[in-house]
Structure 1
Amino acid sequence: MVLWLCGSLWMGVAAIAVVDASNSDSSSGSGGSTATDRSLVKLETRSGSRPWVDPDTPEDVRTYVTSRGDTWELIMSDEFGDVNRNFTAGADHLWTSLEMPDGTNDALQLYSHDMTSVVCDDDEEGLCYLQIKSIDEVNNITVWNNYLRPPGYQNSTFYYRSGMLQTWNKFCFQGGMLEVRAKLPAVLSEDSNNTDIGKGNNARAEQTQYYPTWPGIWLMGNLGRALFSSSTARMWPFSYNECNETVFNSSNQRISACDSDPGHGLNPNQGRGAVEIDLLEGGGVAISSSIQIAPGMPSDYRRAAINESLGDWSYCMYSQGCATIGANLPGVPTEYYEERGHRSWYQGLRYGSNNYCIVDGNDTQSYSLVAAGMENITANTCSLLYCPASNDVHGDMGYIDGDRTLGHWNINSNGTCFPEMNGYQGVFLCDPDNQDSRCSAPRNDSTPKTNTMEPYNYQMDALSANWGIHMGVYYDYVAYQLEWVTGDNGYLRWMIGGHPIFEIPAKSVVNTPQGGNKSNPRLTFPEEPSYIILNVALSAAWGTYPPNPGKPCRGDGKDPEANFICDSFPLYMKIDYVRVYQDASKSSTMAHECDPASHPTRQWILDHETDYVDGNNKLVEMHGGAPCRDNNDCNIPFSVLYTFHTGICNADTGRCECINEFWGGPRCTFQLGATTANGEDASEVTFGPPLYAAFIVLGIVLFLTFVVFVVVTIRRRRQMRKDAEKTKEFGNMTYVVSGMKNAKSMASFNEMAVTTPNDNDDGSPETRSSIVSGPYHRFR
């Protein structure tokens, strides 16, 4: 019994050690929900369920074949099947809702916890989905504004309420495929004047005013938390890991490659930031897909600046209406840009058709005609006759994926909806005291400094495509996909239903044009651990907006169309599922945690916590909470005969609950570190054995095993000596057989059973025949 117990314990501890060694990479993930130390153990579940995968995800979609033919595995999913989900801080293992105003981009809405929920339809299908609701509701609040001169509180009016969810500091990933199946908000009542209704799913959306919201599905590096400007200043959207002061002033980047001792758990001489990748944002008649990255290109490599004396205004390039030569599109006209002596803007971007739209013959292009026309573009604008459909004359025009049957990138050979280069190509960012003329509101000499933050001024770039959409995105659920491979040979590819819409090869970002008066910064292709954001915004400044922007929705109430649109609120973005796939092979560089050793974030966030949280949006450590079917989904494998319990599956909630605070992660399979997410000493706030205790137990078990072995060996040797003495004594005995009676007695003795000690050492007797019992059968 003692030996079996010791053996079982040994098997359990050995299993822990083996799993730790085999899962020290990204395959088991960690996220930041448990704020675990990277050096500690992150185990698989007994059932084999991955930490972030929803058990309700169908088995037949748990692998994905990429556009390059590689097979990736599902590492995260949320099917949104539980109507009891609560997304407030600390309540959900994956998502956190926000309760705060949106102070960016002329936003018109507050974000509230109660604007996000899981709903199941009552119809035959009974589909369950995440719902982000937007309502028209006037709220007057007082907010602090660091960018005021001087900084202070200001009274602000917000005319709508909506919702935002983030996986910030819980689930992050570096590379993979993000897929979100969503239905976008729209006014689709039959009695509206929306003439897009009734034309079918493939009709092109044309009536912008009936799609007044700005939905977003996007990613941001974990070092910046969306809406928290103190966390994003000098952090967003950097993807730069060079130290060259003649190219870029390192003081503009909060975590610079020039810093050999950055502290806060960061790696020395590693430039960091919070790059942004937008799977989709916007609505109306087009969706924008983009990356936003810094530092941006110097003016020598950008589109020409407008000349206001010619009557140009700040946004004339959006409609190619600028009179200033070269101010509409990079590379157009040809002669103007050739005089620079070097190329401008990002090269080799790829654009593909949205073939879900109906065909319009007027949009159909011929590759040969366009290629010939691009030899020398003399006009200050582009046309389908001599420019790519994207208006990007520097774009890749090779065959899509090298397949002639798919046609050419950048050419609208089908006459369907086609993405265009976005007129928005970035903005110059400044602190409120900055006097650089490129700032949107430079401080003048008569205004005193505020000294509220470190000084900065830098350009950020947006590599963006606006692609026309079909009515199916409003009528039905559509799968939006993003493939992301990091590294100098990587790429970002945006797809709809598996069909490519836009692609940015890594070489377009890391090998930017050179030869101008100032060198172009050499960027890093996005590789930050990034979290997922789902939100619906409303703005007075974007391509689509509600009636009477900057005022209550109905205005004076005299516009019937405005009244009808406003009466259609609430509007909803509905999300069927979110899924992430990654290369899980041994050679993979992909990871899915918020604090990987290659790009640490945990200690920085703890040391700058006030930059990331406020009274309504706290940093709350979350243990367990993943959906489960039984206890095997919430426990580590300990041995083949015994399960070491680290969590249970709550039968009422269907969610994992960790048995103590030494075990965390979504399925209670991550052994937690010496400190909590709030930086407290875990020994003072937690109960239960940490992993080092297991190794103490292992030492004790090994010692006891040795003691038992020695005791048993001594007992066996003593027994062998006794047996030998008996054998010697028996061999010296003499038997005399006389007469038939004694002969019969001898025969009986020969058939008699002899009892000997059992070699199994369990104390039970062993029966042997005297005929075959060796030394006990000695008669003469």
Structure 2
Amino acid sequence: MFAQLWQYLRSCFILYAFIADAISTNNLETVSGIGTWVDVATPMEKHSYVSSRGQFWELVMSDEFNDNISGEKRRFDAGYDHLWTSLEKPDGVNGALEVYSHNMTQVNCENDVCFLEIKVIEDVQNVTIFNQYLHPPSFTNITFFYRSAMLQTWNKFCFQGGMLEVKAQLPASMNEKSRNPDLARGPTAPVKELEFYPAWPGIWMMGNLGRAIFSASTQRMWPFSYNDCNEKVFNSSNQRISACDPNPGFGLHPNQGRGAPEIDLIEGGGSIVSSSIQVAPGMPKHYRRIEPDPKLEVGGDTSCKYSATCVTPGANQPNIPSQIYAQRKHKSWYEGLRYSSNNFCARDQKLKQDLRSILKSLSHSITENNCSVTTCPASNDIQSDLGFIDGDVHRGHWGVNSQGTCFSAINAYDGTHLCDPDNQDANCLNPRLPTTAPTNSMPSFNYQMDALSANWPIHVGGYTSFMTYQIEWVMGPNGYVRWMLENLPLFEIPASSVLNVPQDSDQSNPKKIMPEEPMYLILNVAVSGSWGATPPNVGRPCRGNGSDEKVNRICDGFPMYLKIDYIRLYQDLSNQSTMAVGCDPPTHPTHEWIESHIEEYEDYDNKLVQVQGGASCRDTNDCTAKLQNSHPVRTGTCTRRRCVCTSKYWGGPRCTTATYPAMKSSTLTQTFGPSLPIAVMVAMITLVATFLALLNSLFEKHKKCKK
């Protein structure tokens, strides 16, 4: 009996150690030491990274998409994957022509290399949707001509800062049937045959308070990165969670402006790829590029600004001609942006520049209404940084195309004006007419958003092979966002460009902050009728009437695929770092807000379902919590190379997160990061009660023996 008591006391000590660990942190380490979100297939030599500033960062998340080796197909619809969720939903933005579906994603393998693929196919569908922007709001029938996919880590995996690396091959009409002429030009040739690139791939991030293509969640939320309260500069009612609100509720911090900013690693297709941050509020009109005057443009076409062919003075690039913009008495647009080259393109001597000639041109007023190789930096941004890249004299200058290769340039798309359907402001895309009755379907809003964006020409090899796309995001006043291709810089936005915006005498330009919201990842392929890369016969099936031989060849290129070999995220884990992983961090909580507005983030076909376990594993040690005294508590097992939690009290990707499902208040109650006072109290009471009962039993037996 005393041996039994000793075993019980020993178990108590182990359980006590567990409780101490659970109190100190809800997410325990694994016995093996593998990170919570790290794929076990990531090579050890890829578990660290040295940033462009020379800092040592560590791997905190990866997905190698090697699942087919286990013989079990990976599913991404809600409730199955620990990291990703696919959507079953029509796309409703940017003139979309596609519906997103679960069955357009899978993990595939070719030549012993496994990868995620998002498939795009021709598929004519008639869908009935509710359109709040109709007068009155009503259901309407819309025809979509393509089917594709979108994957999100929304409300599962989010992060603040780090280096995201994605090895990808972009979709295009490239098979034997299409006979794409660009293939004959070789992998280093810049893309020329735009029609053969009808898809619009995206690898991007958004703040967790907005869920992509769920418009109710993004209204007055996207893409705010603003933490100021100054009604003279910006009407706070346009920002749903404003710094002017001392009592926002929902677990939010008083007087903290919040939103869902966007960072695009890559977006778009065809001959150019865009990399950008998108933030709000945007600059007022008198700080922006001059808009084309329909009276001056051929046929009244104001889209000339996208091809830099406008006649209107000042409408092609900001700050050119110099004299036109000087009349404002203040600077325009963002300053100090950094542009560089895609050196995987073949060189063209006609594009080659030298710094001395550019500086000489900029020292005089530019009188032309457009940039040229001899008058402007290669970026067409005369306010850009022309210093040495990373301060290294051997790497050349930002903004100067010294090698004559493909070069990043300022994007003609600089943002849009967002309004509710009842708004009559002239800046709205479709202001309500005075003769149209208001719908009162949503709160009023009317604000500009900005896209700080670079377009960079892509070579044919980006569509025929895998390339490594990277982005470094460092928060704070000394931070930056930097885009790279195979470790070579393409574009960089220093924090000073966002924080120190041009001002007039009234200080009327809103002062934004660098994005610092917890961001989630999005992978998708859209097909749009309103962007640079569009399919043939927009608004009709791809082939039209089938009479055009070239169009038929382009359409024979379907299905097209965005292929992802791997995704990896590195962060600075030093004590002074502000980088973090989590969708509900203490600095920027989101959980209570989402729970209280869940109808804005899900619909019948796209429910939010928490997934416990599911991370890749080699053995049970990858799915078992480690205690401070090194005694393992088997919280999960490794089954078919995936973690399976042993009980409902353990969750997280590796079953190392304490949960309390019995205390759920709704289907959304977060099982990551709850407090444990009740569980601890119950456990301690149970321990004491059991100990006293066992002790009493021993005394009773001792009395009987004496008798």
Say which of 551, 561, 568 aligns to 2:550. Answer: 561
1:14 aligns with 2:3: no
SS class of match (2:616): coil
How big is the shift at 1:4? 5.9
How big is the shift at 1:699? 5.9
How big is the shift at 1:487? 0.6
- Larger CA deviation: 692-701 vs 603-612: 692-701
Structure 2 runs not aligned, ≥5 long: 672-677, 700-707
Say which of 452, 456, 472 aligns to 2:445. Answer: 456
Find the aligned partners of 1:665 and 1:476 in 2 and give their Cα distance. Answer: 35
Aligned length: 680
How big is the shift at 1:567? 1.6
* Structure 2 counterparts to residues 139-288 of structure 1, below 5 A: 139-190=125-176, 192-288=178-274
Query: Deviations for 1:466-518, whole angstroms, at most 9, x for unmatched residues?
Result: 00111111111001000000011100000000000000001100111111556
Find the aligned partners of 1:160 and 1:608 in 2 and give their Cα distance. Answer: 31
Q: 1:515 to 1:145 in 2, by over 3 A?
A: same
* Structure 2 counterparts to residues 542-561 of structure 1, below 5 A: 542-561=531-550
SS class of match (2:184): coil
- Counterpart of 1:766? none
- Counterpart of 1:660? 647
SS class of match (2:359): helix
How big is the shift at 1:660? 2.1
1:631 aligns with 2:620: yes
How big is the shift at 1:640? 5.2
- Larger CA deviation: 631-640 vs 489-498: 631-640
- Counterpart of 2:521? 532
- Larger CA deviation: 489-498 vs 11-20: 11-20
Find the aligned partners of 1:601 and 1:333 in 2 and give their Cα distance. Answer: 46
1:308 aligns with 2:310: no
Aligned 8 A contact 2:21 2:28 in 1: no
Find the aligned partners of 1:3 and 1:331 in 2 and give their Cα distance. Answer: 81
Aligned 8 A contact 2:272 2:458 in 1: yes
SS class of match (1:385): coil
* Counterpart code for 2:309: G
Q: 1:701 to 1:640 in 2, by over 3 A?
A: farther
Find the aligned partners of 2:655 and 2:27 in 1 and give their Cα distance. Answer: 9
1:489 aligns with 2:516: no
* Structure 2 counterparts to residues 209-608 of structure 1, below 5 A: 209-311=195-297, 313-375=301-363, 376-515=365-504, 519-608=508-597
Q: 1:338 to 1:666 in 2, by over 3 A?
A: same
Find the aligned partners of 1:487 and 1:681 in 2 and give their Cα distance. Answer: 28
Find the aligned partners of 1:638 and 1:618 in 2 and give their Cα distance. Answer: 35
Aligned 8 A contact 1:662 1:690 in 2: no
Query: Deviations for 1:729-775, whole angstroms, at most 9, x for unmatched residues?
Result: xxxxxxxxxxxxxxxxxxxxxxxxxxxxxxxxxxxxxxxxxxxxxxx
Structure 1 runs not aligned, ≥5 long: 25-40, 683-688, 712-780
Find the aligned partners of 2:462 and 2:455 in 1 and give their Cα distance. Answer: 15
How big is the shift at 1:299? 1.2
SS class of match (1:315): helix
SS class of match (1:68): coil
* Counterpart code for 1:535: N
Find the aligned partners of 1:337 and 1:191 in 2 and give their Cα distance. Answer: 51
How big is the shift at 1:406? 0.5
Q: 1:661 to 1:366 in 2, by over 3 A?
A: same
- Larger CA deviation: 231-240 vs 628-637: 628-637
Find the aligned partners of 2:415 and 2:668 in 1 and give their Cα distance. Answer: 38
* Structure 2 counterparts to residues 711-726 of structure 1, below 5 A: none
Query: Deviations for 1:219-238, whole angstroms, at most 9, x for unmatched residues?
Result: 00000000000000000000
Aligned 8 A contact 2:227 2:242 in 1: yes
* Counterpart code for 1:266: L
* Counterpart code for 1:396: D
* Counterpart code for 2:34: S
How big is the shift at 1:10? 2.3
Find the aligned partners of 2:591 and 2:475 in 1 and give their Cα distance. Answer: 22
Find the aligned partners of 1:414 and 1:681 in 2 and give their Cα distance. Answer: 53
Q: Percent identity over the alignment?
A: 54
* Counterpart code for 1:591: A
How big is the shift at 1:374? 1.0
* Counterpart code for 1:159: F
Find the aligned partners of 1:676 and 1:46 in 2 and give their Cα distance. Answer: 32
Find the aligned partners of 1:186 and 1:343 in 2 and give their Cα distance. Answer: 41
1:51 aligns with 2:36: yes
* Counterpart code for 2:311: A
* Counterpart code for 1:240: Y
- Counterpart of 1:747? none
- Larger CA deviation: 301-310 vs 388-397: 301-310
* Structure 2 counterparts to residues 103-118 of structure 1, below 5 A: 103-118=92-107
- Counterpart of 1:777? none
Say which of 26, 30, 53 aligns to 1:68. Answer: 53
* Counterpart code for 1:358: A
Q: 1:641 to 1:96 in 2, by over 3 A?
A: closer
Say which of 52, 63, 70 aligns to 1:78. Answer: 63
SS class of match (2:626): coil
Find the aligned partners of 2:280 and 2:486 in 1 and give their Cα distance. Answer: 30
SS class of match (1:197): helix
- Counterpart of 1:763? none
Q: 1:600 to 1:369 in 2, by over 3 A?
A: same
Query: Deviations for 1:154-188, whole angstroms, at most 9, x for unmatched residues?
Result: 00000000011000000000000111100011122
How big is the shift at 1:143? 0.7
Aligned 8 A contact 1:89 1:619 in 2: yes
- Counterpart of 2:674? none
- Counterpart of 2:91? 102
Find the aligned partners of 2:433 and 2:161 in 1 and give their Cα distance. Answer: 44
* Counterpart code for 2:278: Q
- Counterpart of 1:732? none
Aligned 8 A contact 1:429 1:459 in 2: yes
Q: 1:416 to 1:533 in 2, by over 3 A?
A: same
- Larger CA deviation: 560-569 vs 638-647: 638-647
Find the aligned partners of 2:537 and 2:64 in 1 and give their Cα distance. Answer: 37
Aligned 8 A contact 1:491 1:506 in 2: yes
Aligned 8 A contact 1:173 1:529 in 2: yes
Aligned 8 A contact 1:149 1:450 in 2: yes
How big is the shift at 1:656? 1.2
TM-score by length of 2: 0.93
Aligned 8 A contact 1:12 1:638 in 2: no
RMSD, aligned CA: 2.1
Q: 1:601 to 1:639 in 2, by over 3 A?
A: closer
Q: 1:322 to 1:635 in 2, by over 3 A?
A: same
* Counterpart code for 2:152: Q
